[in-house]
Copies of this chain bind each other. A is one copy, B any other.
Amino acid sequence: MIDDKLQIAIETLKKSGVRITPQRHAVLEYLLTSMSHPTADEIYKALEGKFPNMSVATVYNNLRILREIGLVRELTYGDDSSRFDSNMNDHYHIICEDCGKIVDFHYPTLDEIESLAEKVSGFEISHHRMELYGKCHECSKVKVQ
């Protein structure tokens, strides 16, 4: 399952003429395995056991390459670190304002809104993004009063 996705991703890398280094493989595997939406630094820390000498720059470089090839999406929220998502299907995100957890939210794409926006603004709309903010179940429980 994950292995299938990994094999397909590696095929895509090969087709694009991108070398499969151990570090790159590890970053990719981590993104595909991880159910979270990790930051570059989280990936860096998660892999430092396996690659004690790997530099953050390598993580960033690989994330950029994976993004350019279309294997990974970069999620940018505010001033904080970018987060990376290997789920390339259209979906929205729900973000916990307390703990920062991000969960996927599947909902039909808001095409009508794009059409209306085109009409009223004169823009050629290419895509949109939406995030919902709130408190996750765990964080809601914490401060009861």
Contacts and interface: CB of A to CB of B under 8 A. Distances in A.
A48 interface: no
Contacts of A125: 94, 132-134
B113 A135 contact: no
B133 A127 contact: yes
Oligomer copy total:
2
A133 B118 CA distance: 10
Contacts of A77: 76
**Interface size band for A:** 35 or more
A128 B132 contact: yes
A134 to B, nearest CB: 4
Given A129-B131, A130-B130, A123 B136 contact: yes
Contact of A94 (B76, B123, B135): B123
Contacts of A114: 132
Contacts of A128: 130-133
Interface of A: 76-79, 82, 94, 96-97, 103, 105, 107, 110, 113-114, 116-118, 120-137, 140
